[in-house]
Amino acid sequence: MRLPRRAALGLLSLLLLLLPAPEAAKKPTPCQRCRGLVDKFNQGLVDTAKKNFGGGNTAWEEKTLSKYESSEIRLLEILEGLCESSDFECNQMLEAQEEHLEAWWLQLKNEYPDLFEWFCVKTLKLCCSPGTYGPDCLACQGGSQRPCSGNGHCSGDGSRQGDGSCRCHVGYQGPLCTDCMDGYFSSLRNETHSVCTACDESCKTCSGPTNRDCGECEVGWVLDEGACVDVDECAAETPPCSAAQFCKNANGSYTCEECDSSCVGCTGEGPENCKECIPGYAREHGQCADVDECSLAEKACVRKNENCYNTPGSYVCVCPDGFEETEDACVPPAEAERYRLPEDEAPGSQLTRKLRR
């Protein structure tokens, strides 16, 4: 049954609404919008740092009108460059908070030089100071100075969101990211710092950096005389690869590589490592090489006038240009009539099919 066009469009719209929004399409949080506005303001300060009033008598203008560096003209130039015309949310925030930015510029910037801290954290209360999180800007796990012991990220750090828990960097675990994961060992630990360093690749757990410091060997390694050493899977009694492949050992593992196309079984890469050669190839100078059937003493192409062309592993028999092919020979067109069957001879007739002589 075919849906009506309007119903089909409605169903498609519903499906599109149910699809999860891509990561890139997520709207920025209020804190991110505020931080973005402050970042653009600070960039505007850099862009206008070497400007002046631009009149004919700059010295008189700066003396009479006040310095350009702290003037309302400079502030206006910065504000005009903060938002793209198509960025509705940025322009909305700027329109709502322009008086705050003007007050900071004219009266408060010497007392509060960090615009982000004054504007986004203390005034609008959209963000938190670094190392704090949540509606009340509480200290992250491990303290606001070094959240998560410096080995992880605090959930909600710098925003009014999150729960302050630690998301540890690779190699670290625990509530404060002070413990080492399997595959890492503690190379430094004191009251303030914890450093986890990767074990040797042969170790699943370890107490130091070498293969002799393993507590347990990683898969593909085995303990031998106090050290974890690589297992050569290719030397196993039952080969791990198929008959058309050869085994290549690697640290902790192995790979199966395809034999050369001229091989029937092989011990390594290339035609020189074939166990046997496929039909059409023969051992020559220590490797499987193509047999040129056209150069053998016994002719490969037996019909009269026929040409032989060698191909990899085989050959083809072809009549020369201008010659016509018959069952027994390649013949010039003038002679071809002698080889054709009589017109009254047809498949199923009782006549014996013979070539004319």
Same domain, 42 and 64: yes
Judge whether 213 lies within some domain: yes
Q: Can you give the pLDDT at residue 7?
A: 45
The residue ranking higher by pLDDT, 171 or 68, is 171
Q: What is the CATH number of the domain that holds 197?
A: 2.10.220
pLDDT band at 68 (very low <50, low <70, confident <90, very high): confident
Task: Summarize pLDDT for 19-40 with one digit per residue, the tens.
Answer: 554 444 578 889 999 999 999 9
Residue 196's pLDDT band, with cuts at 50, 70 and 90, is very high
Scan for tokens 């510029």, then name that residue: 105
CA 183 to chain CA mean position, Å: 24
Residue 348 pLDDT > 80: no
> Looking at residue 49, what is its pLDDT?
84
Is 5 part of any domain?
no
* Among candidate residues 122, 155, 171, the one where a domain is terminated: 122
The angle that helices 72-80 and 30-47 make with each other, rounded to 10 degrees, is 130
Residue 55 included in any domain: yes
279 and 308 in a common domain: no
pLDDT score recorded for residue 66: 58
How far is it, in rounded angstroms, from Cα 71 to Cα 62? Answer: 9
Return the pLDDT at 223. 96
**DSSP tally for the chain: helices H, then strands E:** 7, 22
Contact 311, 345 (CB under 8 A): no
What are φ and ψ of residue 194, in 5° steps?
-140, 125
* Same domain membership, residue 207 and residue 162: yes
Query: For residue 19, what pLDDT is reported?
Result: 54
DSSP 8-state secondary structure symbol assigned to residue 293? G
59 shares a domain with 109: yes
Residue 351 has pLDDT above 50, yes or no: no
Has residue 86 been placed in a domain? Answer: yes
CB atoms < 10 A from the CB of 322, how many? 8
Number of structural domains (the chain) is 4
In a domain, residue 9? The reply is no
Q: What pLDDT is attached to residue 276?
A: 96
We report the CATH number of the domain holding residue 312 as 2.10.25
Domain presence at residue 351? no
The chain-wide mean pLDDT, for the chain, equals 85
Provide the percentage of residues in the chain whose pLDDT is more than 90: 71
Distance (Å, rounded) from C-alpha 137 to C-alpha 127? 8
In the three-class reduction of DSSP (H, G, I as helix; E, B as strand; rest coil), residue 259 is classed as: coil
Structural domain including 163 reads 140-230
Checking if the pLDDT of 227 tops 90, the result is yes
Q: Is the pLDDT of residue 89 over 70?
A: yes
Mean pLDDT confidence for 193-210: 96
User: Is residue 205 situated within a structural domain?
Assistant: yes
3-state DSSP: the chain helix, strand, coil percent, rounded to 5?
A: 30, 25, 45
Average pLDDT in the 197-219 region? 96
Q: pLDDT digit string (tens) for 238-294? A: 989 999 999 999 999 999 999 999 999 999 999 999 999 999 999 999 999 999 999
Q: Does any domain span residue 238?
A: no
